[in-house]
Amino acid sequence: MIDSLIIYSVLSPIASWWQAWTGSGSVLLYSAAIIIYAIAVMIMISIFAYIFGWVERKVIAKIHHRHGPTYVGKYGILQNLADIIKLLAKENITPANSDRLLVKLAPILLLAIPTFLILLLPLSQSLQATNLGLGLLIIFVIIAFLPLAVFIAGFATGNKFADISAQRSVLMLVSYELPMVIVVAAIALAAGSFNLASIISAQAGFTYFAIAMPIGLFVFFVAMLAEMERPPFDLREADSELIAGWLTDFSGPYYAIALFIDYTKVFLGSLLIAMLFLGGWLGPVLPGVVWLILKAFIIALFVIIIRAATVRMRIDRILRFGWTWLLPLSLLNLILVYILFAI
Amino acid sequence: MPTRINIGPVHPSTHGVLRLVADVEGDTITNLEPHIGFLHRGVEKLVETRMYMQSPPYMEKLDYVAPLAMDDAYVATVEAALGIEVKERAMYVRLIQLELQRIASHLFFTGALCNDMGLMFTMFMWCFEDRDRVLDLLAQTTGQRMFYVSMRLGGVTLDLPPDFADNCNEFLDYMEKRLGAYENFMEKNPVFMERMKGVGVLTSQEAKDLGVTGPVLRASGVPYDVRKAKPYYVYDKLHFEVQTDNRGDNLARYRVRIMEIRESARLIREALRQIPEGDAKGMPVKLIGPAAKNRTVTVSRECPRGEAMMYMVADPQKPYRLSIRSPNFVNLSALPHMAKGHRLGDLFAIMGTLDLVMACVDR
């Protein structure tokens, strides 16, 4: 009976993988395997977030003709650690008129969504928690909850700037979600599968989807920038307009979590682009997971440079941009992919 | 039902301590009310208790982005009250210093505008790098980088150093090149242009009615510049164009300032060629100065932010009354008119193009 439960649950592929690997089928062992894998992925996210945070500071400083962090550790590598310790040591202030439960839950929800999604991603041919047949679909269903979590966080603190930020969050969701999903549909069409592992193996031999559908890459990258709240789409935490948007009333450890969420989202977005367009773990010599993270990091570098190069868009312009540019482009991409792959 | 939000006095882009009470519906501003006075120091009253030449340091703190301009306006008022003639060479030296100050101030504007629009510090750092070179040049001729107090009655403290003309020309060449790069960087960015074009439009009639001056007025197509309308120093001997733009929007206000940097560079080059030999030193600062000749004087000057006017009722040894017309104060009063109906994000872009300095608004 337990076996049938597992088979019908999402975890069935993990179970079979574990079974194949160990030759035993104990539930306790499956759970242990999942927990160990989750902890390993969390550590990987933390390392990426840390290095990304440092590289972002350094690269932006170089563009600004500054030095960036230099004092804490060699080349300021420990500066972010010092900042995290400082934030964790600070008092956590919850505003009087906020919803105390939601204020505590929203950052956790916001951290849980991208972390869970990274857990679902196959990191290499062998390193994957699960091999879902409809993996791509599930990821983009769950990703749509991210702006809603921002919405909850914005309304929870009871700050008026956070309120405006929450409203903007929903408006942005309307503008970029549809083109993004249409590009995903084009990818599924090209690969003939919703399974992430088959999508990557469909790109073998340098037939990366980035070459096959450059328009799709553009639309997806822009939509991902919006999803990650990165400039020029950082309207939710627009620092020169809304102070810090939904983050305005977060302090101490919760603010540290919010910063971590930011980097986790960048990691998720870069991983997705690397997998869907740049062949994921495919590459010579080095192990697959190294290739994947290398590709993700190169995409993250573009995200940093864009931050240093452009002013923020206005909310009504984002809506117009989404519906008059991204949506037709994504449809054009779908038609081109149909002609290229299906006929 | 609009939400009333309180922006400032502590906010990342209010340029100091300005409090704005805004009624917003969603993201659209329906009503805006600036509250000022957080930086009120009572300078006008303070001046009444000081001898004439004890006050320039206070005047420099009015507009701390362009201190020399306000210093000059005050010293010129005192000179008019006491009936002191400025030496010919000193006029040129002052003009060069003022135009350098205008370049520094407009560079600050360009950087701060991009900051307000969400480009965090890229343009700001680049502009500050160049502004730093202007400050170095000013340090060569005045001895200070930030608060100069270099104007003296009838002249200046220090003359131009011998290698100043070469340094200055070298800088101006560099600046013109950089300015081209900045224009490319900003105006080829569709997001930047989208947020500048047609936003915060002030028609020429509205601009005149609201009494705005300086680049804000000229961007609405009114060719009024105190340097041309009531020439002082040697502005009538030099060749320059009053930069205007007919569009009256954010882009026009930004363009006018960029063009003014070029005009200032032209003015400095010409002044450096024409500057006569002679003495530029002013009178030493004494607590007891010469007695006032004129009872009341009004002097107006084209500061980087607009027309600064000083009205003085003179007593023999110190001002009986000084009244300052601050260009920032009047320009700020146009903000509610310009921002109404725009998005919250555009409010800060419009405020950025007004180039406010709150110390000058509150006095």
pLDDT tens per residue, range B291-322: 777 788 999 999 999 899 999 998 877 888 99
Cα distance between residue B285 and residue A66, in whole Å: 41
Contact A231 B343 (CB under 8 A): no
pLDDT higher than threshold 60 for residue A193: yes
- Any idea what DSSP says for residue B208? H
pLDDT in tens, A269-280: 998 999 888 887
Which whole number is the average pLDDT over B39-46?
89
pLDDT of amino acid B257: 92
Q: Look at residue A19 and tell me if it is in a domain.
A: no
Determine, for residues B117 and A312 on separate chains, whether the beta-carbon distance falls below 8 Å. yes
State the average pLDDT over residues B222-243. 89
Mind telling me how many Å the CA of B119 is from chain A's nearest CA?
A: 4
Task: Give residue-wise pLDDT tens across range B61-93.
Answer: 888 889 999 999 999 998 888 888 888 889 999
At A134-185, the pLDDT tens digits run 888 888 888 888 888 888 888 888 888 888 888 888 888 888 888 998 999 8
Q: Is the pLDDT of residue A21 over 70?
A: no
Taking one residue from A and the other from B, the number of pairs with CB-CB distance under 8 angstroms is 92
Contact B344 A313 (CB under 8 A): no
Q: How many residues belong to chain B?
A: 363
Chain A contact present for B12, CB below 8 A:
yes
Cβ contact B194–A65 (<8 Å): no
Mean pLDDT of chain A: 83
Query: Is B13's CB within 8 Å of A235's CB?
Result: no
- Domain membership of residue A16 (yes or no) is no
Count up the domains in chain A and report the number. 1
Model confidence at B108: pLDDT above 70: yes
| Exposure on the CB side of residue A150, measured as CA atoms within 13 A | 34
Region B167-172 average pLDDT:
91
Is position A55 within any domain?
yes
User: Which residues from chain B sit within 8 angstroms of residue A309, using beta carbons?
Assistant: 119, 122, 189
* CA–CA min distance B209, chain A (Å): 29
Nearest to A311 among B26, B27, B189 (CB): B189
Question: Which amino acid, one-letter code, is at A287?
Answer: P
Residue type, B246: N
For residue range B257-289, list pLDDT tens digits in order: 999 999 999 999 999 998 888 888 888 777 666
Chain A contact present for B63, CB below 8 A: no
Query: At residue A247, what is the residue type?
Result: L
User: What's the pTM value of the predicted model, to 2 decimals?
Assistant: 0.87
The label of the residue with tokens 């390193």 reads A127
Given a cut of 50, whether residue B165 has pLDDT beyond it is yes
Residue A3 resides in a domain: no
| Portion 251-270 of B in contact with A at CB < 8 A | none
CATH architecture of B3-362: Orthogonal Bundle (1.10)
Q: Between A195 and A33, where is the model more confident?
A: A195
What mean pLDDT do residues B100-116 have?
91
Residue A5 lies in a domain: no
List the single residue in B27, B122, B191 with the smallest CB-CB distance to A313.
B191
Q: Does A222 touch chain B (CB under 8 A)?
A: no
H or E segment and range at residue B33: strand B28-35
In a domain, A13, yes or no: no
**Residue range of the domain that includes A289:** 24-342
CA of B178 to nearest chain A CA: how many angstroms apart? Answer: 14
* 3-state DSSP of chain A: CHHHHHHHCCCHHHHHHHHHHHCCCCHHHHHHHHHHHHHHHHHHHHHHHHHHHHHHHHHHHHHCCCCCCCCCCHHHCCHHHHHHHHHHHCCCCCCCCCCHHHHHHHHHHHHHHHHHHHHHCCCCCCCCCCCCCCHHHHHHHHHCHHHHHHHHHHHHCCCHHHHHHHHHHHHHHHHHHHHHHHHHHHHHHHHCCCCHHHHHHCCCCCCCHHHHCHHHHHHHHHHHHHHCCCCCCCCCCCHHHHCCHHHCCCCHHHHHHHHHHHHHHHHHHHHHHHHHHCCCCCCCCCCHHHHHHHHHHHHHHHHHHHHCCCCCCCHHHHHHHHHHHHHHHHHHHHHHHHHHHHC
Q: How confident is the model at residue A23 (pLDDT cuts 50, 70, 90)?
A: low
